[in-house]
Structure 1
Amino acid sequence: MVVLNGLNLDCRDHYVTLPASCQAKHTLLRWKNSSIQIVNLAFVKSQIQDYLMDQFQEIDSSKWLYPIYSINSSGLYTKKIQNNLYQLISTAITLKQRDYVIMIDTDSTMNNTHLQVDYSVDNITWHELIDTRIFQRKLNRFGRQIPTELLRRSILIRLQSDRSFILKYIYMGPPCTANCYGHGQCLWKKQQAICQCDNNQTSETNCLPNHLLLSSLHETFENKINSSIWSISPDVQITHRCYNRQSKTTPYLCFVPNNHTQQSYVMVGPFKTI
């Protein structure tokens, strides 16, 4: 029997390091203080978890506090935890930069299911992030930016509904370029956020299908001209005289007519990001 000391009962959360003799073994824990109610018990890894990504191909107990879900080949299915509540709570994620986002894919059968996403810093008080009831139309893919005041805080994410819900994918971490324009999933690979496009192609830029009307625009001018964003009229050409990506004082894009006797031209810039 191993006794875990050092618990401060004035605090609501208690973190205890398991002795080395308990690691890599089957271990039983016993709670003897009957006057204190345990809300939950979770085992977490020693290193800081600074992102969350799950495509629900297998159960990963390091990401979720409660074993209240099952997985098959098509996603995650929540189980009822109360008479009328289905819920899923993540383990703690530490926000390392200001522009963290959360992105969620749900099953298409959830069109009439209201899903609420909240965050908490103590697993007691919860604050709303997303409520699908306010959406103007039903969406199976949605997300939002995490409030910047949570920088360097450790938070938990809770998803809950009054009926069973099915998740296909969840991501919380640094954003992908324009959040994949809504046509892909943001994945954390090799210490960077990369879009896994719906056409199963991996892209570090965007997942826009050809000839698609843009609902948003994001451009860093770090790579070649992106043909899915920019189109050049046959009557004009790019002049390299002012096509200077490194300069912060001259335009990034400059178009002039092919007929150089004309003086009209268009400049876009000098900015580094649209």
Structure 2
Amino acid sequence: MENVGEKIKQIRIKFEEELLGESPQFHPIDIERVRCEDWQIARYIINCNGDIDEAFRSLKRTLVWKNEIGLHQIDENYFPTEFYELYKVEKYGTDKCGRMIFTESFAKQRHYNELEQCFQLMVAVSMEKMDRLAGERGMTYVGDFTNTPIYRMDIGLARYRVDCLNNHFPLLAKKIILNNVPFVLKPILRLIVSFMAKNVENIVQYTTSDQLQTLIDWKYIPFEFGGPRNKRYYPLGTVPFHVCYTRFSVKPSFVQYFYRSNNLTLN
């Protein structure tokens, strides 16, 4: 796309004018990024096919959203250890194009009304972290559905992931790999994929474990995904759910239910 550099300058002028008015508050981290990092603007210009006004509106929506949910006030250690271990949420390795890999598994996922906002926030925080690590190069997302029963699918959370990619992290995902999707789940996954923006939908690829190694180096593929790697790389500073549950406004009885429903021992 031509003249992206000039359009970046024009959007920065609009942005500074916005800061002088009675606009919604943006977080200082985001203000600094827009002022200093061309990619934070260019991604919206490209995603909006060069339309400066639409790109600026999209950028503003994201900055307001980040500030409203407090995205910069928490990090990955805010969430319990069990969330990472159950759902295999991990940022590790690179694909064969040199892009960082973000993985998660759906076999033990389930919907809890009490944790709906918490899980959404975890998705947003994970994407923000991945966005900062990957930069303009983008990421490869691997969602593993090995042995995932249909009743485990949290459709609302899946849609939230799609909305985040569509609206707030344009061009972050360069490849989306859906691995070992059971036959009964494919219609649901295809429906979810249909909600993706076309430039996101077009990078979705369905694989089986033996095909996965054509896209990702064998050494990076976890054992649960059919690979050789046993060690997992989850955030180091997390604590168990029963220690930090008050952060999520749930009752002790729910904590017990969470452990029982996931066959975990409450120590």
TM-score, reference length from structure 2: 0.27
| Higher relative contact order, structure no. (Cα contacts within 8 Å, ≥ 6 residues apart) | 2
| Larger strand percent | 1
Q: Tell which structure's C-alpha radius of gyration is larger.
A: 1
| Larger helix percent | 2
